[in-house]
Amino acid sequence: MCGIVCAISTEAVLPLLIEGLKRLEYRGYDSAGVALLNKNGFERTRSVGRIADLEKALGNGINNTSTAGIAHTRWATHGAPTQKNAHPHLTPGKLAIVHNGIIENHQALREELIKAGYVFNSETDTEVILHEVDRQYQLAGDLYEAVRATVKRLKGAYAIGLISSDEPRRIVGARSGSPMVVGLGKKGHYIASDMAALLSVTQDFHIIDDDELVEISDDGVRITDLDGKLVQRDVFTSDQHAGAADLGHYQHYMLKEIHEQTQAVSDTLEGRIAAERVLPGIFGAQDETIFKQTGAIQIIACGTSYHAGLVAQYWFEKFGIACRVEIASEFRSRQHTIADNTLLVTLSQSGETIDTLAALKVAKQEGVAHTLTICNAPESSLVRDSELVFMTHAGPEIGVASTKAFTTQLVSLLLLVVSITKHHRLSAQDEARIVKELRELPAIIDETLRREKEIAALARLFTDKQHALFLGRGTQYPIAMEGALKLKEISYIHAEAYAAGELKHGPLALVDEKMPVIAVAPNNRLLEKLKSNIEEVRARGGRMLVFADDHAQINQTKGVDIINIGRVDNIIAPIVFTIPLQMLAYHVALIKGTDLDKPRNLAKSVTVE
């Protein structure tokens, strides 16, 4: 949510700032702006809408020769998405600010600043930071000291960048709760919310931690804590490249990322499995010792990652390890009891999800035995704050609706299940069987992707539909939940998922010819019960779409459309069956004409409450 890009360079920075904002579009936003520092002061341009609208507003300004500036994409929190609320915000002639986050004590600070004579031109909490920095600047005469004094007064989350016309070759940033990186370039230095914003100019970064400040200037980079003590920080070299997030020949990022799942799963498995076993040490140097002691699992996640955790719960308990799964925002805000010898597992694509980070902190305070994160972002906050770490190797995921991040999380969780339960109930034969299925998984995914034309054709059934029901049993229930989430996220169709056994406990009342019902039918011990549910829907005039295992022997009849997915072994079935649901959501949204990669009101990474 929101994105910031700041730059001091020997070259004109406007093209870089605009490119950086484009690379941060996946975070979700509703307005954008840029402030450039020239000889005569700030030149600011802001726009409601997309980056393309900002470029139009800039007009010929894209050729601006300024070598220092800051830019922002805003996701509205305090104040509607209007031009006056868009960042950057300015004080008359001196300071400019960009901010990602939410300041919880903004109202008290605003009232104090109004009494001191400050005039507010927006409804944002960000302008409170700006005026407080201005007030402190007048006392200290130094931008860094003014920012340091200000952030000590702030409560909430922030990643901020400020520049002053009095010190034009200096930008000061600070971070607490919202991500921030510093790019180290040959022609300048940069601050951004995400490495992706800066990959066109550098692959070398410093990762800024909570309660730290950073100053970039022509002289280099300085990082300190809130007391002004210098912090030494290693350089992190990203293995991503600027073209990794390009669309290529695909129409949308979501479609590209659906088709990248074969490779993403292969990359996630590479170096982690041998012929018949999962290799030790893949979760960290001490993982074997910790896993032997583990008596219970607590999984914490949000959104799509939560659904991955629910699948893992079935897997863990199948092999004798108690597992609880909870939405991070709920976990952090309630009283709970954590069993002894519990391994806390956090799941996040970005590693910066604010509720998940807060829940991890709460669990540590309550004495959880050990922590592990499964994440797609090296050097993210979750990675740095966790004892054990597993990187999914999904690569950049730009589309807001998660696809390959989800399937690689499932693969990672299955590796974790094997790594832990082989010290308890899982036999060597079971481990060998699961590893065999994992080795075959990329080819099965590739085969599943070839059903796209069939799925696209059936997507036309949803052209005039406003509601949909998803059904699944066992491990396919969370997959049904994920399928419903995908459909509602990008097509804006109201979709709900139910365990198929709950159909007669209420949802059946919704079924009619206007309510399509989507079922997931692997060939497992629950298949016959699911077939009964299908008949219940058909008998009431409902239209069924069933994704079935080739051996499930579900007949296509009037009102029941079948797409056979192939022969899928039970343990990996949830991973495979999620892919046709992703493709269905994509093609329905394509028919509906929605903004597929940037659905309304949503952000890729939820870094503020």
- Active site members: 2, 604
Q: Give the other-Cβ count within 10 Å of 224's Cβ.
A: 16
Residue tagged 């991040």 (tokens): 405
Closest CA to 349 of 413, 387, 395: 395
Distance CA 39, CA 66 (A): 9
Q: Give the other-Cβ count within 10 Å of 385's Cβ.
A: 18
Please answer whether residues 178 and 196 qualify as being in contact, where contact means their C-beta atoms are separated by less than 8 angstroms. no
Helix, strand or coil, per DSSP, at residue 127: helix
Q: What is the DSSP letter of 277?
A: S
Residue tagged 């730290």 (tokens): 212
DSSP line for 192-232: ESSGGGGTTT-SEEEEPPTTEEEEEETTEEEEEETT--B--
Distance CA 564, CA 546 (A): 8
143-151 and 126-140 helices, crossing angle to 10°:
130
Number of helices (H) and strands (E) in the chain: give both, helices first: 18, 24
Q: Which tokens belong to 450?
A: 């070839």
Distance CA 156, CA 114 (A): 21
CA atoms within 13 A on the CB side of 501: 8
Distance CA 437, CA 576 (A): 11
Residue tagged 């863990």 (tokens): 316
Distance CA 64, CA 15 (A): 9
Closest CA to 586 of 399, 394, 450, 306: 399
Residue 147 makes CB contacts below 8 A (sequence gap 6+) with 133, 136, 160, 162, 172, 174, 213
Distance CA 235, CA 582 (A): 37
Amino acid at 596: L
Closest CA to 533 of 525, 549, 544: 544
Helix, strand or coil, per DSSP, at residue 13: coil
Query: Helical H runs in 158-302?
Result: 253-259, 261-269, 287-293
